[in-house]
């Protein structure tokens, strides 16, 4: 690996081990800041520079503000008879040895389609001075407000999948995962919230990160989240059901990439690595994914020229850009790259002829 020193530091911090000052290079420090792992790793050094201390202190202060806002939102929804489920963010931070050091910047609350519009109304009432710029359209994934600088996303669905068959199958998984949510205590306030059922959550956390890989917004911290979630819920994740879930939405190969990275680079014990298979081809693709992520190669591809003004020409232009992205992802997961290309064609045709989408 090109980034062995950096990855060793991350792995040590994940499992509460000391990180030698001597192993740090200036490039490592820059990588930690870019990849969202600075606050995780810096406290495990023998000594911290003033800059490192400031980064950690600012993160801890932000967590207090975020947890207070989360508590307000959660309390208001439950008082209104709405049952939310916390996704990502604080729920993943709680899995770390030092939760206050895992950076998170927004609040994601799943309420489902039936409670969606009432929940949005509760958020507006709870935070009357918040910035409000999203509409509650029923094909949006979530409704967003910004309260005192903190984004609160009220989710109708957890993920939007372009392939209609994937979407139908995932909706059933989501319904089970959210209705069987489990309690988790968040932060120093000892606020107990509900987070997705472990098997579904493992799928969701991986899929959310993979979406960021496809949209060029991923970082190593998401792989750390995945690793610790699989570790934390070892013995509670239903391997048979997970295998079926992955197969149903064509993510089996992607799971193999993630679980390989978790075992080979981030220290997940192999006995906890569900569905892990030692495979040289998968290992090579996992290493390529990791190297490209750390080297900055996974940046947004250049647009294929300026977007045309005509509706049909614009849609064809968008289709070409998305197909180029599918070819890019095929280098990491050939199986998903092919599935992605099929999904793009089907989604494009459905959107083209949808009566309520002609404004796009």
Phi/psi for 36 (5° steps) reads 75, 20
Per the CB < 8 A criterion, the answer to whether 191 and 74 are in contact is yes
Cα–Cα distance for residue pair 29/42, rounded to 1 Å: 9
Q: Does the pLDDT of residue 359 top 50, yes or no?
A: no
Return the higher-pLDDT residue of 311 and 272. Answer: 272
Residues 79-90: tens digit of each pLDDT: 999 999 999 999
The pLDDT > 90 percentage for the chain reads 72
Return the higher-pLDDT residue of 11 and 325. Answer: 11
Residues 217-237: tens digit of each pLDDT: 899 999 999 999 999 999 999
Residue 300: band (very low, low, confident or very high) from pLDDT cuts 50, 70, 90: low
Residues 235-277: tens digit of each pLDDT: 999 999 999 999 999 999 999 999 999 999 999 999 999 999 9
Choose among 242, 277, 295, 272: nearest CA to 15.
272
Give me the residue label for tokens 């793009």: 344
Cα–Cα distance for residue pair 93/70, rounded to 1 Å: 14
Give me the residue label for tokens 């927004």: 106
Residues 124-169: tens digit of each pLDDT: 999 999 998 777 878 789 999 999 999 999 999 999 998 899 999 9
Residues 158-217: tens digit of each pLDDT: 999 988 999 999 999 999 999 999 999 987 667 899 999 999 999 999 999 999 999 888
Choose among 156, 79, 88: nearest CA to 122.
79
Q: What is the arithmetic mean of pLDDT over 39-63?
A: 93
CA distances from 95 to 90, 195, 215, 229 (A): 9, 12, 26, 7
Choose among 172, 185, 225, 177: nearest CA to 201.
177
């Amino acid at each position: 690996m090109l980034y062995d020193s950096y990855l060793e530091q991350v792995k040590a911090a994940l499992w509460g081990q000391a990180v030698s000052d001597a192993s740090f290079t200036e490039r490592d420090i820059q990588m930690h800041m870019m990849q969202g792992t600075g606050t995780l790793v810096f406290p495990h050094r023998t000594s911290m520079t003033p800059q490192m201390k400031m980064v950690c202190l600012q993160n801890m202060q932000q967590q207090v503000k975020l947890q207070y806002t989360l508590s307000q939102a959660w309390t208001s929804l439950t008082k209104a008879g709405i049952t939310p489920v916390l996704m990502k963010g604080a729920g993943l931070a709680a899995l770390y040895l030092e939760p206050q050091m895992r950076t998170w910047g927004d609040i994601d609350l799943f309420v489902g389609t039936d409670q969606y519009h009432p929940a949005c109304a509760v958020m507006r009432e709870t935070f009357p001075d918040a910035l409000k710029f999203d509409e509650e359209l029923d094909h949006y994934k979530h409704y967003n407000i910004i309260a005192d600088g903190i984004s609160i996303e009220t989710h109708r669905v957890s993920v939007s999948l372009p392939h209609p068959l994937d979407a139908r199958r995932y909706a059933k998984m989501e319904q089970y995962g959210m209705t069987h949510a489990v309690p988790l205590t968040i932060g120093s306030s000892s606020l107990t919230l509900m987070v997705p059922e472990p098997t579904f959550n493992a799928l969701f956390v991986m899929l959310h990160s993979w979406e960021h890989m496809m949209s060029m917004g991923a970082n190593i911290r998401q792989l750390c989240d995945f690793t610790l979630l699989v570790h934390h819920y070892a013995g509670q994740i239903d391997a048979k059901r997970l295998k079926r879930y992955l197969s149903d939405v064509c993510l089996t190969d992607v799971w193999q990439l993630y679980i390989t990275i978790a075992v080979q680079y981030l220290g997940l014990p192999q006995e906890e690595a569900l569905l892990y298979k030692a495979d040289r081809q998968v290992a090579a693709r996992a290493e390529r994914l990791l190297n490209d992520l750390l080297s900055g190669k996974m940046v947004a591809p250049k647009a294929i020229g300026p977007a045309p003004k005509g509706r049909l020409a614009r849609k064809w232009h968008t289709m070409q850009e998305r197909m180029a992205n599918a070819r890019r992802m095929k280098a990491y997961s050939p199986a998903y790259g092919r599935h992605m290309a099929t999904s793009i064609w089907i989604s494009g045709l459905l959107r083209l002829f949808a009566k309520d989408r002609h404004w796009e």
